[in-house]
Amino acid sequence: MLFKPRSIAVFFRILVTALALTATGLIVLFFLFLVKESVPVFQAEGARFLTGGDWWVGESYGAGPMIFGSAVVTLLALAMVLPFALAGAVVASEFLSPRLRWAMKSLMELFAGVPGIIYGLLGVGVLAPAVKDFFGLIDGNTLLTAALLLGLMVFPTILTLADDALHAVPGKYRDQAQGLGLSRLETVRAVVLPQARAGLLGAVFLGLGRAMGETIAVMLVIGGRDQVPSPWYNLFAPGQSIPSKLGREAAEAVGAGLHWNALLGLGLVLFLMVLGVTVAGQLFLNKGRAT
């Protein structure tokens, strides 16, 4: 007997551990790589890398406009879509029959999987011309267009997660509130929403994280101009987000020179932004589930 059950068990254990550590090791390696490769640009530019408004390959690398663009576009997207997504979640969780709720959630999960490139195509073919004509602009590729598109993209994600959070509030709270004479809607406002607060925040943060990292759809409609618009709140101006910048310039710079380091520096900034938002969101979600 060459292979005793015992030796198989030991072998399996080693195999599982090794594979698990391979994956974990790769992930950690990725992050270390990102940090290591972006060090030179921080050495060359210092804090100006984050605040500088001028990105001109070979001369200066200021990520300000990209950071600004990413922040504005994602926050705007969220602000526009949140009322609708929350309304949808309340309706689905509190007022729909289990069957209808299941149908709606399935539909949302289907939509949450729609690839970014499909939204990009819709952005180029439908949304950008519509924005141009509706607002009478000379061109439809603007920060607003990108935000609208992102809003559409994260709508199903936020709705599904928010619905989960609301649904996790135990039924007994609702029964008690209604026993006190509150109507169903008052119950939602006074009891369910406050109870689900952590879970809802989690949904919002995860949606924000998803929007922040989207590359292709944004790249196609944001205009690609590395400048903070003037005045800065002019949303009808073109701009640039970090992922869009990476998507457009990476191929030109791969593996060579300060330009590459600068792009990875941008990547690091993006990574930290998304990581913060995602981890916060996950912690909120877990907290929401625990209560």
Partner 1 sequence: MRFFGFILVVLLGQAAGAWAAPPAAKRLLVVGSTTVLPVVTLAAEAFSLRSGGEVSITVNPGGSGVGVNSVGTGRASIGMVSREIAPEEGRRFAKARLKVHVIGHDRVACVVSSAVYKAGVKALSREEIQAIYLGTIRNWKDVGGPDREILVVDKERHRGTRHEFMKYVFGDATARAPAARLVTGSNNEEQAKIAASDAAIGMLSMGWINEDVAGVGLREGGEVFFPESAHYPIVRRLSLVTAGEPEGLAREFIDFLLGPEGQRIVKKLGYQPAVRAPEVR
Partner 2 sequence: MKRGLVEKAAMAVLGIMAGMGVLVLVLILAEVFLRGGGALDAGFFLEESRDFGAAGGVRYQITGTLLLMVGAAALGLPLALAGALFQTEYLKSPGLKRGLRLLIYSLNGVPTILFGLLGYLFFGIYLGAGVSWLTGVLILAIMILPTIQVSVQEAIEALPENYREAGGALGLSRWQEIRSIVLPHSFFGIVTGTLLGLARAAGETAAILFTATAFSGARFPASFGDPVPTLQTHILVLAQEAVNPRAIEAAWGAGCVLLILVFSLIAASLFFRSRLSMEFDR
Please report, as ranges, the residues that interact with partner 1 according to CB under 8 A: 14, 17-19, 21-22, 24-26, 29, 56-58, 129, 138-139, 141, 223-227, 237-238, 248-249, 251-257
58 binds, among partner 1, partner 2, none (CB under 5 to 8 A by kind): partner 1
Residue 282, classed as helix, strand or coil, is helix
133 binds, among partner 1, partner 2, none (CB under 5 to 8 A by kind): none
Question: At its nearest, how many Å lie between partner 1 and the CB of residue 59?
Answer: 8
Cα–Cα distance measured from residue 86 to residue 33, given in angstroms and rounded to the nearest whole number: 39
Question: Alpha-carbon dihedral of residues 79, 82, 87, 92, nearest 10 degrees?
Answer: 170
Cα–Cα distance measured from residue 196 to residue 93, given in angstroms and rounded to the nearest whole number: 12
Question: At its nearest, how many Å lie between partner 2 and the CB of residue 245?
Answer: 10
What is the maximal distance between C-alpha atoms in the chain?
82
Within 13 Å and on the Cβ side, how many CA atoms surround 143?
A: 29
Question: At its nearest, how many Å lie between partner 1 and the CB of residue 80?
Answer: 23
Question: At its nearest, how many Å lie between partner 1 and the CB of residue 56?
Answer: 7
Cα–Cα distance measured from residue 141 to residue 65, given in angstroms and rounded to the nearest whole number: 16
90 binds, among partner 1, partner 2, none (CB under 5 to 8 A by kind): partner 2
The number of residues making up the chain comes to: 291
The count of other CB atoms within 10 Å of the CB of residue 156 is: 22
Query: Which one of 111, 132, 139, 168 is in contact with partner 2 (CB under 8 A)?
Result: 111
| Beta-ladder partners of 60 | 56
Rule CB under 8 A: say whether 124 interacts with partner 2: yes
Rule CB under 8 A: say whether 238 interacts with partner 2: no
189 or 225: CB nearest partner 1: 225
Question: At its nearest, how many Å lie between partner 2 and the CB of residue 94?
Answer: 9
- Footprint of partner 2 on 56-95 (CB under 8 A): 81, 83-85, 87-88, 90-92, 95
What residues contact residue 170 under an 8 Å CB cut-off, 6+ apart?
Answer: none
One DSSP character per residue, 117-165 reads HHHHHHIIIIIHHHHHHHHT-S-S-SHHHHHHHHHHHHHHHHHHHHHHH
- Footprint of partner 2 on 2-31 (CB under 8 A): 5-6, 8-9, 12-13, 15-20, 22-24, 26-27, 29-30
Question: At its nearest, how many Å lie between partner 1 and the CB of residue 123?
Answer: 14
- Footprint of partner 2 on 172-231 (CB under 8 A): 183-186, 206, 209-210, 212-216, 220
47 or 138: CB nearest partner 1: 138
Cα–Cα distance measured from residue 195 to residue 169, given in angstroms and rounded to the nearest whole number: 7
